[in-house]
Amino acid sequence: MRRYVALLSAFVALVATTLPLLGRGAQSAASSVVVGKVDGSFQPKKGKIFVLVIGNDARAGNPDRALADAIHLVGINTTTMKGGILNFPRDSWVTIPGSGSARINEALIRGGPALVADTVRSLTGIRPDLWVMVGFEDFQDIIKDLGPVTMDIERPIQDPYGSGANLKAGRQPLGATKALAFVRTRKVFSGGDVTRTTNHGRFLIALLRKLRGDVDAKPASLLKWLAATREHARLNVSSDELYRLGVLASQVKPGDIGNVTVPVRLGMVGSASVVFIQNAAPIYKRFRTTATL
């Protein structure tokens, strides 16, 4: 019950999400841009970039050592300008480098964002180029700063005893409270946390759509997104790099971003309920090779 899906920072996600630069134009000449770094190097990796987006379950603050209840690897192919978001359910039973086997969300509490990145790398063969992380409050603060995010809700969501969500079906703007409720909801879904994890990806794409809309209408609004990200998210990129990422993010088409949750089956380890990732190798390979899903 204490695992909230603290969600990701909007922008950051986009940021993450993005990286292709030239979005809509006839001329997409520019090359790949690279930003941040997990291991200290600047690495454009042949037109691909991967960003690890982490949402921790801290209700206040944004500590290194908490449970990572939202883990998403965002990839962008800067040649094709397409990308993907690969979502990992928090209960995925994985090998955490140097720390044995455990649920993937424990990687954060055991070794901070760097260990989450290492875990994802050992799992997928993809090394994240940078990471961004938000906590429980950060998520709401970002939405408060940026304004409501428009989401398509397929079916009504009512979860009075869990997330508190009370959302009608249809396209609607989600403010900070509703957005948090949306991304926290899992118990009322038959797919439980797996569905929630997929919803995180959908929310990230909705954020990207909002970013594009804002910047299209008023380019300088990107500076507001940057300010919100700097203030509320933790990330291992400089302000200059973030700015460039933001410019890139604003050019990514949401429709060109795939949203895939790794396939899992339910299981038990001792008395703990977990999920085992299965048949994900082809997905990893494709993502690793093309940065798209």
Site residues for other proteins per CB under 8 A: 21-34, 42, 145, 218-224, 226-227, 230, 239-240, 243-244, 247-248, 251
Shortest Cβ distance from residue 273 to other proteins (Å)?
43
> What is the β-pairing status of strands 82-88 and 257-261?
parallel
SS3 for 279?
coil
Q: Of 248 and 275, which CB lies nearer to other proteins in the complex structure?
A: 248
Q: Of 60 and 217, which CB lies nearer to other proteins in the complex structure?
A: 217
Shortest Cβ distance from residue 246 to other proteins (Å)?
9
Q: Which amino acid is at 99?
A: S
Query: Tokens 């990806």 identify what position?
Result: 201
Q: Of 24 and 155, which CB lies nearer to other proteins in the complex structure?
A: 24
* Residue 155 structure tokens: 């079916």
Shortest Cβ distance from residue 225 to other proteins (Å)?
8
* Residue 127 structure tokens: 């090394």
Report angle CA 87, 89, 92 to the nearest 5 degrees.
125
SS3 for 272?
strand
Shortest Cβ distance from residue 89 to other proteins (Å)?
34
* Residue 195 structure tokens: 């569905």
Shortest Cβ distance from residue 36 to other proteins (Å)?
13
Q: Which residues pair with 182 in a beta bridge?
A: none
Q: Of 24 and 65, which CB lies nearer to other proteins in the complex structure?
A: 24
> What is the β-pairing status of strands 100-103 and 170-174?
unpaired
Q: Of 109 and 291, which CB lies nearer to other proteins in the complex structure?
A: 291
